[in-house]
Structure 1
Amino acid sequence: MTDLSSIFGEAGPLSVAIPGFRPRAQQLEMAQCVARTIAENGVLVAEAGTGTGKTFAYLVPALLSGAKIIVSTGTKTLQDQLFLRDLPTVRDALKLPVSTALLKGRANYVCHYHLDRAQVDGRFASREEVAHVRTIARFARQTSSGDKSECVAVPEDSAAWSAVTSTRDNCLGQDCPHYKACFVLSARRAAMDADVVVVNHHLFFADVMLRDDGVGELLPACNAVIFDEAHQLPETASLFFGESVSTSQLIELARDTRDEALTAAKDFAPLPEAARAMEKAARDLRLAFREDSARLTIAQAEQSPDFRKALDGLGERLDALRLSIESQAERSEGLANCARRTQGLSACLALWREPEAGELVRWIEVFSQSCAMNATPLEIAGIFARQMQGHPRAWIFTSATLAVGHDFGHYCGELGLGRAATGLWGSPFDYGVQALLYAPQGMPDPNSLGYNEAVSDAAYPVIRAAGGRAFVLCTSLRAMRRVHELLAERYSRDGFESPLLLQGEGSRSELLERFRLLGNATLVASQSFWEGVDVPGEALSVVVIDKLPFAPPDDPVLAARIEHMRRAGRNPFMEYQLPRAVISMKQGAGRLIRSETDRGVLMICDPRLISRQYGKRVWRSLPPMRRTRERNEAVAFFQGVTGTVAFDG
């Protein structure tokens, strides 16, 4: 095995090739664990604090192993950073002849078949969308990858993209006339040939499910899988190990069926009629709910007098469409594909027409224009453990937030990682000097009516002392909007000139860019900014968190899992709700100190951090900052005053 200490040492290839590289004991220790895990086809769960350099800690031993590696990330941002920056940096520093590939989901690649259809008979809402399709057509003739991120002339959110890309449902596969020129297949072939493939968690699990369905393996067989941002895996896996059918899918199926019938079955009028009837039934199901946005249990859905009638009507119309389209499926590849989609969606919808769903939680998510019927497993540990069996390979799970204190039991239990080795490497940052944790005194109960006002009043003096430069992270959208409103009134009244930004006023990337450029802004945000956000330097010097981030107990999946655990004689709060809140809190707190020169105050307003016994578990899981309950000490932090009294809770 290669001597990793020389590679990560002061005179090693990383120090020579990378400006500013500094040896870190934590990084070397983690790299040695990763190397051992790959060599032994083991399982490693590794928490590495901010600044540890965990990316290099797994990339170096992975590349040196000579094994075929899949690296999966939670976000496309990290996926691109790994492929475009980190992988080439390590490969070049080590002078290794390693080939790499970036593999995305099919919605990221232009589809020749759907592009042709969009140009011939596409229906678009504006001339701008028509122009976008023409631009994409020119791009498709010139590109070798078909990756839409390279077509910068068309905005990523243009409606044209959905018309010219494929989905798993509407891809014709080998029946497609453009099969040999398919950009998706080309990307997959490149991945098959590469030594290291970078994907994201959604794509990884999509492949697992595709392989289960016997459609074929999307991702190449590999010797090691490395999950970065692994704290997101339980949530992502739950989505993919369940079932879902949305009214949007059904409406798209109806439209595709009508389009195919116009070209391949003009003489069979019952088919487009059946498609129109099913589309109307799908819209009627959405209209059964008055809410614009909601997550409902099946019992809550049944309270709508129109729900069961609409669901049964949709099932009948979908069955009628299935029979009609099956009679015509042999007339074209497109109709055959629509028939397969109809059969799959019909089987999925049948789950909702049964009185019992076994180990699945049935729930509905209502959106402004559609709704989705979901069936999510109560537990995924057994399913995920089975997916890890088979071909011997190493499995590595890493993130800055996996443990509760020093305990990985919650995370390993959720994913069924019974035989995993674990490692925890703290941040090299000097939190005692760089940061202060402030838990204000006199805060009311978080469920009281005036709590948002108390948060605003407590946070304002600290934000003002910092000259803005703050994130205010709320646990609900309602609280976010109210705290923003209160701060806006206070800023205006006092003439405090810190630009006040609100989540939703632009995309996340746009808001972050504005926040960085302004240098003295206050951003009030919710879940979207709790993780995966990096603002090093003075632009972010205060992070305010309004409440301990417990998931809402009326969430359909959470409520069902709590009841399931209670029936088994377990304590759902201590085993499930609290560990998840701790990990979320660590993510939110991690926004503050991003480099060895950052300084700032982390302010947690929730009095339960101090008053409740379980608050100590949250307290002890946070970075080892100096701690105070005195407002004057938090304000003085920005005046360069030191010697804050420690608070041990």
Structure 2
Amino acid sequence: MSGGNTVVALLGDDGPLAKAITGFRARLPQQQMAAAVAQVLAEGGTLVAEAGTGVGKTFAYLVPVLVDGRKVIVSTGTRNLQDQLFHKDLPLLCQALGLSVRRALLKGRSNYLCTHRLRLAVAEGPLLPARLHAPLQQVERWAAGTRTGDVAELSQLPEDAEIWARVTSTVDNCLGTDCSDYQDCHVLRARRRAQEADLVVINHHLLLADLALKDEGFGDLLPSAAAFILDEAHQLPDVAGHFFGVTLSARQLLELARDTVAEQVNEAPDMPWLRECADDLVKAVKDFRLAMGEGMRRAPWSTLAVAPGMAVAMESLQTALQSLSEALALAAQRGKGLEGCARRVQDQLQRLALFGGPREDAVQWYETWTRTFSLHLTPLDVASLFRQHRGACDSAWVFTSATLSVDGNFDHFNRRLGLDAPRGLQLDSPFDYGTNARLYLPEGLPEPNAPGYTEAVAQAVLPLIQANPGGTFMLFTSHRALQVAAAWLSHHLDRPVLVQGSAPRQELVTRFRKVGNGVLLGAQSFWEGVDVRGQALSCVVIDRLPFASPGDPVLEARIAAIRRDGGSPFTALQLPQAVIALKQGVGRLIRDPQDRGLLVLCDPRLRSKSYGRLFLQSLPPVEQARTLPEALDFLRHLAPQSETD
């Protein structure tokens, strides 16, 4: 029996999974994808597979990988999926299939406790801000017993807690083989487990950091893999742009200053001028931020470089880094910690120099927050870079997601990643959208750029929310529109209104699920990854077509580059990206065969513009509710029968 036939049988109604997993049923699209993955594992090459919600793509690629037995790296877009694959799906499949496969979970170094930096933080003692004392004690207690050092184990502290930056390492501040804790390093142990494993679960950030040779990683692990499976692959082009570029942030600069002080206390207490140089750098960073102006912005660097006072702030920052560099050059021989700081300051001087003049092959841009900032150099085109780095690994590649195609083909995705004529496989969702879902396009709404558009959207969907026996999920293309809608709905609804930013994302989703008939409002990151099944999410409202903001500096530069080459930025870039983003949002509605719900797309351009057809064709095969009464009637019938009798 060939590999393809084998995996099809394993995923069949008479296979071991059906016997071992309650509720498992054979799905033809899942079997088709599994056979395609088995084929590319056996023959090599590249497969791009779009698997609609409900296909079961996770099992469709894991079963062939487990049966194949060679070393495979599975990369995901999020740490949540990474953890689910490793802790839930893989143990379940290995048990059901009776296979003993060495598995490893590998995350980026910032996900692991650094015992050296923990000691430095403890040694700082009273120098630490008082707000960090209690979290540091929590970390100390956990550190005494952890075997993996994975910070996710300490669930009492949020993953963005301030203390983590003090007790984890980065590529910049890791001492490597010079560290006294090197043999007991949690990152090193995780990499050793990955080297010895047959199947390694990582994430795109880690994969791309290593492809870009930025030493997040695991050295010779990539070339040793027979295959790479990249789930949530629609995220790759944007993630690749970040990792093939350069960033210099206030956080990096301030961490260097802080680490210099900590290492001076530890290794050179008789060199107090190091602290003075570090303090000068802190002041220069703060002055640089002040020169950037107030507010939160994301814009081309060229617009800021000529601003009043910016040249002076730039020179002061460069001078402070240079002074610290000279001081650290004298102190480096006193210990490995100070030697590491000396290397880091040189690297940051080189990064700052990249913003001394214009670049043709990359986008220079900046981002500001209330008290901090970052400078970015992002390649205009990642396709050639990704192709070059991927070519160093003689492996089979599988790219999969629920949203990769536009207008029935993968041309846009393939072009952005430089994939040359890969095999394509498009598998529609097996869910019965015709019976279980309806699409409603409200009439009479103004154009999306008209004043009062968001209030008009809220008013148009209010009767739908009130008629819905379950929960309503509203997706917005901007945080400003989200806040406007939240304020309006809070005054017109007697249901719980849950708003992104008012609590951590997972907490909001949990509350939304528990309430059962609430309204959850989200933007950007909420367009994907929200998985609420059953009546708790039975209506999805999308305020407008998700075209990326034309003011985004990276998009703006790429649009200009396409125009210079004689192309159409709208058809080559903006439209296909918006179609993929819409498909992600729409995918929140039906998550289970029993789910039923109403999809509401509010943007009048779906009817008035010729490109509206492309968006509608990208949707699952769902019937339209032509009028508001039809939509209301469909919603009312979603209630359990006992409630409607």
Q: What TM-score does the superposition give when structure 1 sets the normalisation length?
A: 0.95
- The residue that corresponds to 2:468 in the other structure is 466
1: CA distance, partners of 2:166 / 2:534: 42
Q: Which range moves more in the overlay, 26-35 or 307-316?
A: 307-316
Q: Is the 8 A contact 1:359 1:378 kept in 2?
A: yes
Deviation at 1:289, TM superposition (A): 2.4
- The residue that corresponds to 2:375 in the other structure is 373
2: CA distance, partners of 1:180 / 1:629: 67
Amino acid at match of 1:330: Q
Amino acid at match of 1:359: D
- The residue that corresponds to 1:119 in the other structure is 122
Deviation at 1:269, TM superposition (A): 4.7
Deviation per residue, 1:420-455 (Å, 9 max, x gap):
111100000011111111111111110000201210
2: CA distance, partners of 1:175 / 1:330: 12
Q: Is the 8 A contact 1:443 1:607 kept in 2?
A: yes
Per the alignment, in what secondary structure is the counterpart of residue 158 of structure 1?
Answer: coil
2: CA distance, partners of 1:161 / 1:99: 30
User: Given the alignment, which residue of 588, 593, 598 partners 1:596?
Assistant: 593
- The residue that corresponds to 1:395 in the other structure is 397
Amino acid at match of 1:101: A
**1:637 to 2:641 alignment:** no
2: CA distance, partners of 1:482 / 1:534: 25
- The residue that corresponds to 2:496 in the other structure is 499
Amino acid at match of 1:592: L
2: CA distance, partners of 1:185 / 1:603: 49
Amino acid at match of 1:486: W
- The residue that corresponds to 1:307 in the other structure is 310
1: CA distance, partners of 2:134 / 2:445: 56
Deviation at 1:291, TM superposition (A): 3.1
Q: Is the 8 A contact 2:498 2:519 kept in 1?
A: yes
**1:272 to 2:269 alignment:** no
Root mean square deviation, CA, Å: 1.7
Deviation at 1:166, TM superposition (A): 1.3
- The residue that corresponds to 1:608 in the other structure is 605
Q: Is the 8 A contact 1:102 1:198 kept in 2?
A: yes
- The residue that corresponds to 1:204 in the other structure is 207
**1:479 to 2:481 alignment:** yes
Deviation at 1:219, TM superposition (A): 5.4
- The residue that corresponds to 1:538 in the other structure is 535
Deviation at 1:10, TM superposition (A): 1.0
- The residue that corresponds to 2:105 in the other structure is 102
1: CA distance, partners of 2:218 / 2:79: 25
Q: Is the 8 A contact 1:113 1:176 kept in 2?
A: yes
**1:488 to 2:485 alignment:** no
Per the alignment, in what secondary structure is the counterpart of residue 210 of structure 1?
Answer: coil
Structure 1 residues 130 and 152, CA gap change in structure 2 (3 angstroms): same
Structure 1 residues 214 and 471, CA gap change in structure 2 (3 angstroms): closer
2: CA distance, partners of 1:154 / 1:215: 28
2: CA distance, partners of 1:438 / 1:150: 44
- The residue that corresponds to 1:427 in the other structure is 429
2: CA distance, partners of 1:511 / 1:289: 34
**1:552 to 2:549 alignment:** yes
* Structure 2 gap segments, 5+ residues each: 639-645
**1:259 to 2:262 alignment:** yes
- The residue that corresponds to 1:222 in the other structure is 225
- The residue that corresponds to 2:385 in the other structure is 383
2: CA distance, partners of 1:212 / 1:253: 19
- The residue that corresponds to 1:644 in the other structure is none
Per the alignment, in what secondary structure is the counterpart of residue 622 of structure 1?
Answer: coil
Deviation at 1:325, TM superposition (A): 1.3
Percent of aligned positions that are identical? 48
Structure 1 residues 309 and 31, CA gap change in structure 2 (3 angstroms): same
Per the alignment, in what secondary structure is the counterpart of residue 322 of structure 2?
Answer: helix
Deviation at 1:267, TM superposition (A): 4.1
Structure 1 residues 374 and 98, CA gap change in structure 2 (3 angstroms): same
2: CA distance, partners of 1:268 / 1:488: 59
Structure 1 residues 380 and 99, CA gap change in structure 2 (3 angstroms): same
- The residue that corresponds to 1:240 in the other structure is 243
- The residue that corresponds to 1:43 in the other structure is 46
Q: Is the 8 A contact 1:297 1:362 kept in 2?
A: yes
**1:514 to 2:511 alignment:** yes
Deviation at 1:475, TM superposition (A): 0.5
Q: Is the 8 A contact 1:34 1:44 kept in 2?
A: yes
Structure 1 residues 444 and 211, CA gap change in structure 2 (3 angstroms): closer
Q: Is the 8 A contact 1:188 1:219 kept in 2?
A: no
1: CA distance, partners of 2:611 / 2:256: 49
1: CA distance, partners of 2:528 / 2:412: 20
1: CA distance, partners of 2:218 / 2:200: 21
Deviation at 1:155, TM superposition (A): 4.4
2: CA distance, partners of 1:403 / 1:207: 27
Structure 1 residues 573 and 335, CA gap change in structure 2 (3 angstroms): same
Deviation at 1:177, TM superposition (A): 0.7
Amino acid at match of 2:65: A
Structure 1 residues 113 and 212, CA gap change in structure 2 (3 angstroms): closer
1: CA distance, partners of 2:295 / 2:388: 38
**1:189 to 2:192 alignment:** yes
2: CA distance, partners of 1:237 / 1:350: 23
Per the alignment, in what secondary structure is the counterpart of residue 538 of structure 1?
Answer: helix
Amino acid at match of 2:464: V
Q: What TM-score does the superposition give when structure 2 sets the normalisation length?
A: 0.95
Deviation at 1:138, TM superposition (A): 2.8
> What is the number of equivalent residue pairs in this alignment?
634
2: CA distance, partners of 1:414 / 1:103: 27
Q: Which range moves more in the overlay, 157-166 or 453-462?
A: 157-166
Q: Is the 8 A contact 1:207 1:217 kept in 2?
A: no
1: CA distance, partners of 2:237 / 2:24: 33
Deviation per residue, 1:232-289 (Å, 9 max, x gap):
1011111000000011111111121123233433444543332222221111111112
